[in-house]
Chains A and B, each alone.
Chain A
């Protein structure tokens, strides 16, 4: 009799997840803690306003009705002709681009104006050049005099006197005073001459 119980090996065909027995102690401790907790804490402690649940159904129904109205309102309130928005956009673009075009103003309406303007320009340029040529030398001289004068003021008087004494003014009376000598120089020599000698 092959199917006799004594012929079947005594192996345990069942298995458990890996690490099950290692964690079983902790699992039991958890279960004990939860059991204690549940017996001590029977409710979560939260409360609600009076008659809240009896009114909640009505509030939810009202909220749903409002949602339905929103849907109805958004779909059937107003309509526009077919293709209206495409046309609207192109109309707006056309009008705004027409306004944006810059207007071109012609400065020269006829060729006569061109030639007259050119002639005026030539006359003005020539006249200006002529007057510049006429007045330029006197201006230059004036500028030179001013520069020389400034230079003389900057040089010490004693230097000027010593210089004249050492050069061509030796025939002048040596007994003359400095004031007389200065007067003599200023009355007999131009500022340019003194500046060039110095």
Chain B
């Protein structure tokens, strides 16, 4: 199926009569990408489901004000990322726990999740990613799984490309050390 251009979606959304159609096109184009981006950050499917809905409600409310000085998909990714960070911070405050403890909690959720059927290596990789600091985790996921360009990740996270490259490099080193430490062969 041919992907609709972002410009077309924005143009349709600006017209009252084609607004719903435009939003349906936007959902069709981005809902899966955004879901997986959120899911990798919050791990649990139900949490991800709530956050996807919150993200697209914000998109609906603010799309009319969207200026084309950034790309539509980086703008949506940015909203989704902020929703996830807010969610994880609230989780930290609610349980009065540190970031490390939240990571442990997420790792536990991963093991117990009904909706995770990865093999030993896949599980080990996710556990390794969960040991990273929040920003490195975010950058690694976007680069490794979503295959985004550094320039786009920089726009989403508000970080310079140079700093992103350094963060990604450090993240890969840590993941490699974590996985080799556990004698995972691949």
Interface residues of A (CB under 8 A from B): 17, 23, 26-27, 30, 33-34, 36-38, 40-41, 43-49, 53, 56-57, 59-61, 63-64, 67
Contact = CB atoms under 8 A, between A and B. Distances in A.
B57 A34 contact: no
B119 to A, nearest CB: 7
Contact of A60 (B56, B123, B173): B56
27 contacts: A30-B176, A33-B172, A36-B186, A41-B121, A41-B125, A44-B122, A44-B126, A45-B117, A46-B40, A46-B45, A46-B115, A46-B116, A47-B115, A48-B45, A49-B45, A49-B115, A53-B31, A56-B31, A56-B35, A60-B31, A60-B52, A60-B56, A61-B23, A61-B24, A63-B57, A64-B23, A64-B60
B122 A34 contact: no
A23 B175 CA distance: 18
Interface in B111-134: 115-119, 121-123, 125-126
A59 B162 CA distance: 39
Contacts of B126: 44-45
A131 to B, nearest CB: 78
A23 B165 CA distance: 12
Contacts of A23: 169
A57 B31 contact: yes
B115 A48 contact: yes
B55 to A, nearest CB: 9
B172 to A, nearest CB: 5
A46 B39 CA distance: 8
A64 B57 CA distance: 6
A41 B39 contact: no
B142 to A, nearest CB: 13
A144 to B, nearest CB: 80
A30 B173 contact: yes
Interface residues of B, number: 37
Interface string B168-186: 0100110110000000001
B116 A47 contact: yes
A32 to B, nearest CB: 10
Given A40-B186, A48-B35, 5 more contacts: A33-B176, A46-B45, A47-B115, A53-B32, A53-B35
B27 interface: yes
Interface string B10-53: 00000000000001100110011001100110000100010011
A43 B169 contact: no
A26 to B, nearest CB: 8
A59 to B, nearest CB: 6
B66 interface: no
B145 interface: yes
A145 to B, nearest CB: 81
A67 B57 CA distance: 8
Contacts of A40: 121, 186
Contact of B122 (A33, A45, A56, A60): A45
A40 B116 CA distance: 17
Contacts of A34: 144, 172
Given A41-B186, A48-B45, A60 B116 contact: no
A45 B60 contact: no
A57 B27 contact: yes
A36 B123 CA distance: 16
A45 B31 contact: no
Residue among A33, A43, A45 with most chain B CB within 10 A? A45
